[in-house]
Structure 1
């Protein structure tokens, strides 16, 4: 009886989550359809793998190496590690990890590239007693920050307005 009640409560909870549109982070396509169907990546550096994974979730988009309807170019990447807090003995207690990406997207129909900037911050506690473990934790945080920055760039791509074809200069507005 108790087991049946637990299963019923679990089934109701799962159906409520499924009905409200809940999904795990990174398991869905961008919020809206992109205003282009092919994209070329240039100068992506350490963001390349994370960007490709985030973009391939959208089945409507194809990644091309040559000419595409839009080009995403990473202009600048900056990784910074600042001291956040120190203890009374003057030793570091916490670090602030900052990952900043500046990128531009240019569509074939646009004349000027659209700039985008993403900043991701994480706090990391530090202990001299666990140096190797903290180095591994830092590497995992940097990888997570790159994935997060790629997701934010893809989300911003979905908010670009659709391009409407320009009317010829001599066309009249009256029928």
Structure 2
């Protein structure tokens, strides 16, 4: 590698690093809103049923919420004795269930559906907000029962995908609740002389 090529590569890396640091520190916000997105409540309690169907949702939901900047508290670890003094938001997920539909033929068409009832409790502009919503995600695949492998490996992969998809939908709705109700006033159009 020649010294000129090395200098060019170093400059490109420096420009990319500077650009990425500048972008993260600039106060990213959604177009149409004057301020960056922030939640009125810093900590959110996530309550998920304690059973084998609901348990696999805890990790992907916590990861998604933490990626959004939400401080997640597990609902199982919260009691009236150790509640923080500041206000808490809550996401309660109940009635998590799988349904499996099969269309049997030469190849079996399988449709897996994961549904849950989700309740959000938070503050918006200082006012308590409660929203309940049923959420459903689904995915279809084909399974050949006449194959050499009798295991339904794709079914277990689809289940993992459904948990991730449900976690994404729950976190997206939580963010939507936190969005301001009114957008900023549009900029005045420039008048050309």
Q: Specify if TM > 0.5.
A: yes
2:155 alignment partner in structure 1: 138
CA distance in 1, matches of 2:148, 2:138: 21
Please report how far the alpha carbon of residue 106 of structure 1 lies from its aligned counterpart in structure 2 after TM superposition: 1.3
CA RMSD of aligned residues (A): 3.2
> Is 1:160 aligned with 2:177?
yes
1:52 alignment partner in structure 2: 62
Cα distance, 1:160–1:131 mapped onto 2, change above 3 Å? farther
- 2:68 is paired with a residue whose SS is coil
Please report how far the alpha carbon of residue 49 of structure 1 lies from its aligned counterpart in structure 2 after TM superposition: 1.1
Q: TM-score, normalised by structure 2?
A: 0.57
Cα distance, 1:133–1:157 mapped onto 2, change above 3 Å? farther
Cα distance, 1:93–1:162 mapped onto 2, change above 3 Å? closer
| Unmatched tracts of structure 1, length 5 or more | 1-14, 16-30, 165-175
CA distance in 2, matches of 1:106, 1:160: 10
CA distance in 1, matches of 2:65, 2:152: 30
> Is 1:115 aligned with 2:132?
yes
1:10 alignment partner in structure 2: none
2:191 alignment partner in structure 1: none
Q: Is the 1:86–1:93 contact (alpha carbons within 8 Å) kept by the matching residues of 2?
A: yes
| Unmatched tracts of structure 2, length 5 or more | 1-15, 17-29, 31-36, 182-193
CA distance in 2, matches of 1:82, 1:122: 11
CA distance in 2, matches of 1:37, 1:145: 28
Please report how far the alpha carbon of residue 118 of structure 1 lies from its aligned counterpart in structure 2 after TM superposition: 1.6
> Is 1:98 aligned with 2:107?
no
CA distance in 1, matches of 2:47, 2:170: 14
- What is the total number of aligned residue pairs between the two structures? 133
Please report how far the alpha carbon of residue 105 of structure 1 lies from its aligned counterpart in structure 2 after TM superposition: 1.2
Please report how far the alpha carbon of residue 35 of structure 1 lies from its aligned counterpart in structure 2 after TM superposition: 3.8
Please report how far the alpha carbon of residue 117 of structure 1 lies from its aligned counterpart in structure 2 after TM superposition: 2.3
